[in-house]
Chain A
Amino acid sequence: DTAVSQTPKYLVTQMGNDKSIKCEQNLGHDTMYWYKQDSKKFLKIMFSYNNKELIINETVPNRFSPKSPDKAHLNLHINSLELGDSAVYFCASSQGRDRGVEKLFFGSGTQLSVL
């Protein structure tokens, strides 16, 4: 029943490894997002896809690569993980038809710990 689901919930890995976080939404939304929550609880947008097309790409190291196989999925791949990548990552979705303020639906987060 979960509208936006992301897996895994926890991810503990060593520096230098490559890992992926998956996100799926069953709301029929056109737009999906990845946000990073830092230690001070700020939520920063990383990427946004609309109908599989990248529309927002903030200043994020190119080790981070989003992949959207279809509009219901937006996965986040991270190569050569670094200590500073440790954070909670949130996936979200919205209908994507409103150019103004959009209502976002969030997943419950993936806690990434890089050792």
Chain B
Amino acid sequence: EAGVAQSPRYKIIEKRQSVAFWCNPISGHATLYWYQQILGQGPKLLIQFQNNGVVDDSQLPKDRFSAERLKGVDSTLKIQPAKLEDSAVYLCASSSLSGRETQYFGPGTRLLVL
């Protein structure tokens, strides 16, 4: 069974530029999560999707971050414009059914904002 796929693996941008990350969850997983992991900290949930719908986006900085999950499969997370403090690893995870099961994480995208 293929794991959660993410791309790109690394991205370096200037502040105020925009960037997008892509995630392909494990096949059949209805629930998809985006986390932000700042160096030296644990992952923090940004947004949770159940199929196409948003379950929780309470910690998503909506003035600059957006996410979508078209057709209930792949998802993209966008930052526009980026700030220095957005430098982090962005992790995508997925779980089956209701989201109360084990979350499987992808390798993450490491973002550096200069």
Asked if A pairs with B, the answer is no
Identify the A interface with B (CB < 8 A): none
